[in-house]
A and B are shown apart, each in its own frame.
Chain A
Amino acid sequence: MPTQTECLKKAQVQIDHFIQQFTALKAQIQQCFVGQNELVEDLLCVLFAGGHALLEGVPGLGKTMLSKTLAQATAMDYERIQCTPDLMPSDITGHKTLVEAENGSHQLIFEEGPVISHFILVDEINRATPKTQSALLEAMQEGQVTIGRETIQLPHPNFFVATQNPVEHEGTYPLPEAQLDRFLAKLKVRYPETDDYRQIIELTTTGGVVAAEPVLTAETVLQMQQTVAAVETPELAIDYVVRLVRATQPQCSDMAIVREHVTLGASPRAVQSMVMLGKVKALLDGRSSVSVKDLKGSAAIALRHRIAMGFSAMADQIDADQIINEILNRL
């Protein structure tokens, strides 16, 4: 049985190792992807929390670039699904093909789809039809794909990054709530700062090839995810997160703004997401337990896509972020 000092030392080593790897990965990404410090950090938090991320931003902000850079820096198997309106579910999951064997007989062979990989970029996800989008549901939640009678486990770690453009309506299909709920966080990609534009010009218009060097491997990512899962969550934090999520549900909330503008509140998955993100944030702060502050910090990205706003909110131009801020101020 290890002594208390040994335990403390071991915990300290694990936390330091996590921070070191995280910082190295972030630095490597920022060599190729300029600015957006908070966005990069949040995306890495989602990766190590073991969830999937939805990047939303207007065209040209580098959503796809960020995802590709992260894939390069983590050196995981990378597949890209470019969503188009005629994409079929079997184009994502894979399908069975009839082939002729050497002895002349015929057999069905499973042709793997791009979803069976470590790192999957689902670009412009809202351009695919809901039928095709639904092919991702099982893969994202359960980490497996079922075709016919066959179930194929996806490799671990498994990380989906989807991008979408919020300004176009024609030719797009809004993501259904079931799909949105499967993303651990929705990250908004904003315009870069003034200084960042200069750096972007320098990096991209001089003819040089910008590519990230691999810093982590799939095994390291998996190990870091296990470290995150081991972080403790005190009752105080659990109470807080439960109260926070229940406050977003119109039938439970006592806030008038929620009852008036929200049609669907956050699900229990939101609780899981917030706690996991809180754990990563706690580790990055050098702690081994989640605090209320960590949960507050992760509330916006974990809840904004899980709160369905009613028409009155659209008319009054109230978005989910405003509702979350109101709740955070109240609790």
Chain B
Amino acid sequence: MTLQEFCQHVLQAQQKLQRQRFKGAVRRIIHQTSLMISGICIAMLLNKGFLSLWMEFHLSRLAVRLILLAVLLSAVARLVLQGFAKVDCSTAIRELDRISNRHNLISTAHEFLEADKDSIFAQYAVSQGVEALQDALKRDMKPTHRPLNISVVAAACIAAMDVSLLSGHAVNAASNDEPKVSTVSSAAKISLKQQPKKIDTVSNDTTAENGTLLSARQHKTAQGQIISSTAFAQASAAANQTQASGGVTSDMIRQKSNTMKRRSASTNLLRTAGFKGAGAGQTPPTETSIKSNSLNIGDGLYEDQRQAAAKDKDTLKTFENSSRRPFLSDRRSAPGRELGRSGKKDKPGNGRGGLGAVKKSRSTAALFPGRILTVHVPSQPGKGKSKSFEAEAPLKPEKAGRTTELSTADSREERVRTDTINPEFKKMTQQYFEELNAYSNRMLKESPSAD
């Protein structure tokens, strides 16, 4: 197939794809419009309900309509433009590849045809690409994004709305989250001025029930039970008021515990890796312990932790680019590679020196399988790969004799000054060594290794 024929096929696919896109765009307009309408309905419901807690303004009916219209128009415009957009050749090929789901064969074939590659594998790839193209053209070109089932989405939206309304999730979230609490408390302050009597009754009720000041946790549970907006605002305001009278506000505690959490998270990261830091090996501090620490000890603790973290960071840098790695499992540092005597008496040996009781064998690994040695055999190059004990074979007798003779001759002629020695003593010594030499030669001849 030539490039022209291939392109004609692609053009066909382009036209088909264009039609499919338009259909898909229309379908999507219908689906997305219905989705948006349901979304805006939900927003309106929320606006009337608990959302008004957070927002200090209400959307008017006209404003809602205008927003709805703007959203609809923009969506329709986007989708229509997408539907009428012209499909270019590369997009069509990519789309065909997606439809055929056969390893980019079509785009590969197009590329090889364009580059005019003539290797047998390139031609084979082109033929496979054409096959895939024809196969893709036969298939129904479905749009890339499958439309969502509107009934499922609508049901999910309504369910989510119901759940959030009934569980009072937003109310709880408001009590847990700092900025929300502040907004709620500010709202409560406003209402506090307006309705002082009601607040007093709520706060009195809660304190009367518990018999003590309202703690932060009790504050939460109390808030969870109150569903109506005014009651919630009153309760939180009362809680704030009672905690303020105790000397430490809930905001202060929360703020301190959050900063501690952030610091302890950064140091814990290092500690879990096995490095010694401040308090390494301890369990991570709980929220209550952090609170008590922060209250009792104060800022001195932060300084220690900061120093420990800085120290750990330095240690990390030294390990970062070396082959030594710390043991992550048992939180120990990496063993040293030095072979000298190091360590302490009470610590067990690790096979790397030191005074420990248990040690690994000091022998070399090659002792077990045996070591290959080249035995020097005259006139035979590379003769004999044998075990190490063979290297200790006894000397040949003739060689031994020759060596002894040579050495005595050397000593007689060069090293010993003979003129100062008594001739009789000289004769006796010579006789003794000659007898000794003869004896050793005789013994070597008689020994079985000489065979």
Closest Cβ neighbor of B321 among chain A residues: A263
Asked if B50 is at the interface (CB within 8 A of a chain A CB), the reply is no
Asked if A150 is at the interface (CB within 8 A of a chain B CB), the reply is no
Residues of B within 8 A of A234 (CB): 104, 107-108, 111-112, 125
Residues of A within 8 A of B122 (CB): 232, 288-289
In the bound complex, CA of A174 to CA of B325 (Å): 10
Residues of A within 8 A of B319 (CB): 311
Residues of B within 8 A of A11 (CB): 120-121, 123-124
Closest Cβ neighbor of B350 among chain A residues: A170
Residues of B within 8 A of A192 (CB): none
Residues of B within 8 A of A104 (CB): 378
Residues of B within 8 A of A170 (CB): 335, 350-352
| CB <8 Å contact, B273 and A315 | yes
Name A85's contact: one of B103, B120, B365, B369 (CB within 8 Å): B365
Task: Tell which of A84, A86, A109, A232 has the most Cβ of chain B within 10 Å.
Answer: A232
Asked if B20 is at the interface (CB within 8 A of a chain A CB), the reply is no
Distance in angstroms from A122 CB to nearest chain B CB is: 15
| CB <8 Å contact, B111 and A287 | no
In the bound complex, CA of A289 to CA of B110 (Å): 12
Asked if A111 is at the interface (CB within 8 A of a chain B CB), the reply is yes
Name B273's contact: one of A97, A174, A292, A314 (CB within 8 Å): A314
| CB <8 Å contact, A289 and B325 | no
Asked if B74 is at the interface (CB within 8 A of a chain A CB), the reply is no
Chain B contributes a number of interface residues (CB within 8 A of A) equal to 47
| CB <8 Å contact, A236 and B124 | no
Comparing A2-10, A61-69, A200-208, A247-255, the segment that makes contact with chain B is A2-10
Asked if B162 is at the interface (CB within 8 A of a chain A CB), the reply is no
In the bound complex, CA of A256 to CA of B269 (Å): 18
| CB <8 Å contact, B125 and A289 | yes
In the bound complex, CA of A288 to CA of B319 (Å): 47
Residues of B within 8 A of A312 (CB): 269
Given A100-B376, A289-B108, A315-B272, the answer on whether A232 and B128 have CB atoms closer than 8 Å is no
Residues of B within 8 A of A288 (CB): 120-122, 124-125, 128
Residues of B within 8 A of A294 (CB): 103
In the bound complex, CA of A324 to CA of B111 (Å): 28
Residues of A within 8 A of B382 (CB): 97, 99, 109, 111
Residues of A within 8 A of B8 (CB): none
Given A99-B381, A171-B351, the answer on whether A289 and B272 have CB atoms closer than 8 Å is no
Asked if A78 is at the interface (CB within 8 A of a chain B CB), the reply is no
In the bound complex, CA of A82 to CA of B352 (Å): 22
In the bound complex, CA of A8 to CA of B360 (Å): 65
Q: Mark A69-106, 1 if CB is under 8 A from B, else 0.
A: 00000000000001011110000000001011110100
Residues of B within 8 A of A190 (CB): none
| CB <8 Å contact, A236 and B119 | no
Distance in angstroms from B358 CB to nearest chain A CB is: 13
Closest Cβ neighbor of A169 among chain B residues: B327
Q: Mark A212-252, 1 if CB is under 8 A from B, else 0.
A: 00000000000000000011101111000000000000000
In the bound complex, CA of A86 to CA of B364 (Å): 7
Interface members, chain B 94-131 (any A CB < 8 Å) = 103-105, 107-108, 111-112, 117, 119-125, 127-128
In the bound complex, CA of A215 to CA of B254 (Å): 72
Residues of A within 8 A of B369 (CB): 82
In the bound complex, CA of A264 to CA of B328 (Å): 21
Residues of A within 8 A of B121 (CB): 11, 230-232, 288-289
In the bound complex, CA of A8 to CA of B120 (Å): 6
Given A11-B121, A97-B374, the answer on whether A285 and B103 have CB atoms closer than 8 Å is yes
Residues of A within 8 A of B321 (CB): 263
| CB <8 Å contact, A8 and B123 | yes
Residues of B within 8 A of A231 (CB): 121
| CB <8 Å contact, A236 and B107 | yes
In the bound complex, CA of A214 to CA of B405 (Å): 61
In the bound complex, CA of A12 to CA of B335 (Å): 58
Interface members, chain A 107-150 (any B CB < 8 Å) = 107, 109, 111
Asked if A176 is at the interface (CB within 8 A of a chain B CB), the reply is yes
Residues of A within 8 A of B149 (CB): none
Closest Cβ neighbor of B127 among chain A residues: A8
| CB <8 Å contact, A293 and B366 | no
16 contacts between A and B (CB under 8 A): A8-B120, A10-B120, A11-B120, A97-B382, A99-B376, A99-B383, A101-B379, A169-B327, A169-B335, A174-B323, A176-B323, A230-B120, A231-B121, A234-B107, A263-B321, A311-B316
Q: A100-B381, A289-B121, A294-B103 are in contact. List 14 more A-B contacts (CB 8 A).
A: A8-B127, A10-B120, A86-B365, A100-B379, A104-B378, A109-B382, A111-B382, A169-B334, A231-B121, A232-B125, A235-B111, A291-B105, A315-B273, A315-B328
